[in-house]
Amino acid sequence: MQIFIDADAFPNGIRDILIKASQRLNLPLIFVANKPLRLEKLSNLSLILVPEGPDVADDRIAEAVRPGDLVITADIPLADRVVAKNAFAMNPRGTLYTEHNIKDRLAMRDLLGELRDNGTITGGPAAFSKKDRQAFANQLDSFLVRQLKIENTKQGNPVSRR
């Protein structure tokens, strides 16, 4: 399993959580962005730098993701593309997108976009909070432990955590 980060619109509050989890479980963590990022020099961290432009980072992630990978993104259309490839997507607030909920989330996103365009509602999501950070950390840990247990069971290996 690899973890891809849609890093163009990414709250810094969860970067450390992801890095610690990837180190603890020895999972590749791949940031995809259209501008350089400062990353620790760790063997399992990498950056894919893409040209600027709409959806360029999203396209690169959708192209690279494999079944079973995890993508961290707030972009629901990207999450839909990821789930269609039998991978998983989680938003920075800890919501896990699956084949069971992604179409509903996509429809709700589109509806809210129309309401904003018509001036019926204004504004966007609330500011990222400590509660969001904790929800993300809890969901990430639960997801990773569950998925690694499934992978190791398929391979006949015991689950190992650093």
pLDDT at 162: 42
135: pLDDT strictly greater than 90: yes
Instruction: Give the pLDDT confidence of 61-98 residue by residue, as tens digits.
Output: 999 999 999 999 989 999 999 999 999 999 999 999 98
* pLDDT for the residue 12: 82
pTM exceeding 0.85? no
List the chain domain ranges: 3-155
Token pair for residue 136? 């993300």
Q: Encoding tokens for residue 51? A: 């040209």
Token pair recorded at residue 111: 């509806």
What's the pLDDT tens digit per position in 27-70?
999 999 998 888 888 889 999 999 998 899 999 999 999 999 99
Q: What is the side-by-side strand order in the sheet with 45-49?
A: 45-49, 29-33, 3-6, 70-72, 88-90, 96-97
Higher-scoring residue by pLDDT: 39, 19 = 19
Across the chain, mean pLDDT equals: 87
Please state which architecture CATH assigns to domain 3-155.
3-Layer(aba) Sandwich (3.40)
